[in-house]
Amino acid sequence: MKLATFESGNTLQLGAVEGETIRPLGFAGTMIDLIADWDAKRDSIARAAASAKAVPLASVHLRAPVLRPGKIFAIGLNYADHIAESKMETPKHQVWFTKAVTAINGPFDPVQVPKAGPFVDYEVELVAVIGKRGRHIEPDQAAKHVFGYCVGNDVTERFWQHQTPQWSLGKSFDTHAPIGPWITTRDEIPDPHALGLRCIVNGETRQNSNTRHLVFNVWQQIAHLSKAMTLEPGDLIFTGTPGGIGAAMDPRQFLKAGDKVRCEIEQLGAIEATFVAEE
Ligand code: ZN
């Protein structure tokens, strides 16, 4: 299924997306509530979706599928071509940073060029959404802990990222974690390591790669993170970005108000933001 969080009128709802339509699930709770109870709810949800009246996707406002994840972790330097353009060595250990949960943004909502930091860049990424909670998850069990996948843009303020050794502030400005357009459940994505992904800025393709080029794959990422902490339903893992970032272009290119950035991943759909100056 493709599960979305959307607004219609003034109410927030969950829905199942089919083609250009969405069917409200009539579920009283958040996406995280649904994910946490998915094994028990999935059949009744599928029935509810099948009997609900489909409305055009274009008539609703899609919000971030998970509005308030418990945590957002993101891995750095995880595609060979991005490591090379960053003039870094392939890391022996996984390099993790967090993004603030307040950075979450809808799939088609505006993204801010912050007053405090105009050096804004894009990073298209496969995002894994955790389903089943767990600690010390072995790589060969990791798939069972994934609820599904969506597209993310790990929007980054490069000056803030690099003015200190710790990247988290430069990765955590408000609106800088757009995700969506919905969650595609993992039964529809038998191999998350075979998905083409692209980032297109004002019609120009800047990043164009495939998740088969991940240095540490999704299962290794889940195993490593869960050695340290319990992963919970709705937690988000940004799995790394391929080469082609604006900061590595010659001359360097940063995003400015009016720019349109589209991030797309095979089978998962596309998100697209217009960048705007922070009010
Ligand atoms: Zn990233």
Do 6 and 53 have their domain in common? yes
Residue 222, C-beta contacts closer than 8 angstroms, at least 6 positions apart: 128, 130, 137, 139, 142, 145, 146, 231, 237
> Which residue, 78, 52, 57, is CA-closest to 7?
57
Residue 44 Cα to ligand 1 middle (Å): 36
pLDDT value, residue 129? 99
Residue 239 Cα to ligand 1 middle (Å): 7
- Domain residues for the domain of 53 are 2-63
Residue 73 Cα to ligand 1 middle (Å): 10
Do 173 and 191 have their domain in common? yes
Do 22 and 81 have their domain in common? no
Residue 25 Cα to ligand 1 middle (Å): 32
Residue 97 Cα to ligand 1 middle (Å): 9
Do 6 and 101 have their domain in common? no
Q: What is the DSSP letter of 55?
A: E
Do 7 and 98 have their domain in common? no
Residue 152 Cα to ligand 1 middle (Å): 9
C-alpha 204/C-alpha 193 separation (Å) is 25
Do 48 and 127 have their domain in common? no
Do 94 and 41 have their domain in common? no
pLDDT value, residue 8? 87
Residue 155 Cα to ligand 1 middle (Å): 8
Residue 55 Cα to ligand 1 middle (Å): 34
Do 48 and 117 have their domain in common? no
Give the type of residue at 162. H
Domain count, the chain: 2
Burial class (CB in 10 A: 0-12, 13-18, 19+), 140: exposed
pLDDT value, residue 166? 95
Do 179 and 204 have their domain in common? yes
pLDDT value, residue 249? 96
Residue 177 Cα to ligand 1 middle (Å): 10
Do 156 and 206 have their domain in common? yes
Residue 117, C-beta contacts closer than 8 angstroms, at least 6 positions apart: 157, 159, 160, 170, 173
Do 120 and 232 have their domain in common? yes
C-alpha 121/C-alpha 256 separation (Å) is 9
Residue 11 Cα to ligand 1 middle (Å): 32
Residue 48 Cα to ligand 1 middle (Å): 37
Residue 168 Cα to ligand 1 middle (Å): 11
pLDDT value, residue 10? 86
Q: Which two tokens stand for residue 152?
A: 């993310």
Residue 74 Cα to ligand 1 middle (Å): 6
Q: What is the DSSP string of 83-102?
A: HHHTT-PPPSS-EEEE--GG
Domain boundary among 17, 45, 63: 63
CATH number, residue 100: 3.90.850.10
Do 35 and 79 have their domain in common? no
Residue 217 Cα to ligand 1 middle (Å): 14
pLDDT value, residue 197? 98
Residues of the chain with pLDDT under 70: none
Task: Spell out which residues have Cβ within 5 A of ligand 1, the ion.
Answer: 123, 154, 241
What values do phi and psi take at 100, rounded to 5?
A: -65, 145
What are the C-alpha distances in Å from 109 to residues 64, 87, 261, 274? 9, 33, 11, 7
> Which residue, 155, 160, 261, is CA-closest to 206?
261
